[in-house]
Amino acid sequence: MTRFVQRRGLIVSVALILAFAFGAVLFGSSSHQVYAQDQDVSFSVEGKISELSSGKITVDSGGNMNFEVRYDSKTEIQHKDGTPANISEFRVGMEIRAEGVLTESGDVIAKKIVLESGSKGSSG
């Protein structure tokens, strides 16, 4: 009878460990993914515009690092001196700073874009 109780206890212990491990994998990783997707990762990039297209600019930040910066009507666009700017002022070769959120795919969703060169009040 003692062996039966010991085996039963061992079986219950192993079953509980497996259930816990399976639950941690099943629920822990999925809840972590949801948390990671909901969490904004603030990011800024500075560099020259190397490509322009509707809703997106490619920024060469040097050292062979290019970032796709996405913008929309909610994106604040301004000159270096703080005055408002327009998307129509973007030019290839222009220095900018984009501040926003970095996505898992490596794109930057811009909340603010500052035109650093070719801006009003800028000498270069």
Q: Are 104 and 67 in the same domain?
A: yes
In CATH, what number is assigned to the domain containing residue 57?
Answer: 2.40.50.140
Q: Provide the number of structural domains found in the chain.
A: 2
pLDDT at 40: 65
Same domain, residue pair 8 and 55? no
Does the pLDDT at position 108 exceed 80?
yes
Containing structural domain, residue 62: 42-115
Cα–Cα distances (Å) from 92 to 8, 27, 42, 115, in that order, read 73, 47, 25, 12
* Predicted confidence (pLDDT) per residue in 111-124, tens digit: 999 999 865 544 44
Handedness of CA 32, 38, 43, 48 (dihedral sign): positive
Say if residue 46 is in the same domain as residue 31. no
Q: How far is residue 88's CA from residue 104's CA, in Å, rounded to a whole number?
A: 29
For residues 46 and 33, state if they share a domain: no
* Pairing relationship of beta strands 108-115 and 66-70 according to DSSP bridges: parallel
- pTM, 2 dp: 0.64
Q: Is 124 domain-assigned?
A: no
Say if residue 82's pLDDT is above 50. yes
| Structural domain includes residue 93 | yes
Tokens for 12?
Answer: 């219950």
